[in-house]
Amino acid sequence: MGDRNRLTKRFVDSVRARPADRDSLYWDVELTRFGLRQKCRQADGTPGALSYVIQYRNREGTSRRYTLGNANAITPQQARGIARSLLARIDDPRERYDPAADKSNARQAVTFEELVDEYLTSDGWRGKAPSTQAVERGLIAHHLIPLLGKRRALEITRRDMEKAFRDIRDGKTAADKPSGKARGRIRVRGGTGTARRTLHLASPIFAYGVHQEIIPNNPCVGLRLGSSGTRDVIVEDETAYAGLFRALAELESEQKITEQTLCA
């Protein structure tokens, strides 16, 4: 059945820190049939997903294993509470609930904002240059979160992302508001370039969710965002590249360059 331990945050963090070469299960000593599943590391060395599970028998006596949610999305305490509630329903002779047959589980409750929070702890995000992170945090905070933050990540579709592109392009997320500092203001602009860059950022966020088994697919796959055009100069420095993106967004919002100029 696997090792038995008390599934605490410290224990889960210790498992996360040592990627395994095979799938492993760690069962909780406090709550019987509640456990942590660790998938083996990927071929490229990427750690496998960590998920909370329960083991039970359905009304036909068949042994079932049910995933409660990804360990990056819910805490051990939250997972144990969900497990306790489900096991009570499973063991109730009047109900004999079968969560695997129901299809509804903790992963369905993860919002896009929570998915973003998890992505911002990933190696893919930490590997980006600070200047790139600064620009992308702005795109997340000013465009993606206002449009999608409270939506359940599992329910976001390609059509939703197409609408998000149009909303950003058409300035529905644009804003001009005080920054909280003396005479400072936050100016958020829309435009085709901003919309395209924002959705190019959304794709790896969803891809992370797929890899971590939080969502089943990436709604950005197959999106047609138009061509970014060709560049006469290749900017290799990260700081200059981020500055170029900011300058293009400002020029486009001020209509000093047009959508056609950007080859959209």
CA-based R_g, the chain, Å: 22
pLDDT the model gives residue 183: 60
Same domain, 54 and 168: no
pLDDT the model gives residue 232: 33
Same domain, 34 and 127: no
249 or 108, which is more confident?
108
- Report the CATH number that the domain containing residue 160 is assigned in CATH: 1.10.150.130
Domain-located, residue 229 = yes
Same domain, 160 and 234: yes
Per-residue pLDDT at 257 exceeds 80? no
Same domain, 46 and 25: yes
Per-residue pLDDT at 88 exceeds 60? yes
Ramachandran sector of residue 38 (left: φ over 0; alpha: ψ -120 to 50; beta: rest): beta
Cα 72 from Cα 214, distance rounded (Å):
9
pLDDT the model gives residue 47: 75
Domain-located, residue 261 = no
Per-residue pLDDT at 190 exceeds 50? yes
Q: Kindly state the average pLDDT of the residues 208-228.
A: 81
42 or 254, which is more confident?
42
Q: Kindly state the average pLDDT of the residues 198-210.
A: 92
Domain-located, residue 260 = no
Per-residue pLDDT at 198 exceeds 70? yes
pLDDT the model gives residue 260: 37
What does the DSSP assignment read for 238-255?
HHHHHHHHHHHHHHHHTT
Of 74, 107, 140, the last residue of a domain is 107
Same domain, 43 and 60: yes
Q: Kindly state the average pLDDT of the residues 10-25.
A: 89
Provide the pairing of β-strand 63-70 with 50-57: antiparallel
Domain count, the chain: 2
- Domain range for residue 52? 3-107
Question: Per-residue pLDDT tens for 117-138?
Answer: 888 888 889 889 999 999 999 9
pLDDT the model gives residue 181: 62
Per-residue pLDDT at 226 exceeds 90? no
Cα 228 from Cα 48, distance rounded (Å):
35
pLDDT the model gives residue 212: 78
CA dist list (Å): 142 to 12, 123, 137, 149, 186: 33, 23, 8, 11, 10
Question: Per-residue pLDDT tens for 147-184?
Answer: 999 888 988 999 999 999 999 999 988 877 665 566 65
Provide the pairing of β-strand 175-178 with 3-5: unpaired
Per-residue pLDDT at 59 exceeds 80? yes
Which helix or strand (DSSP H or E) is residue 118 part of?
helix 112-119
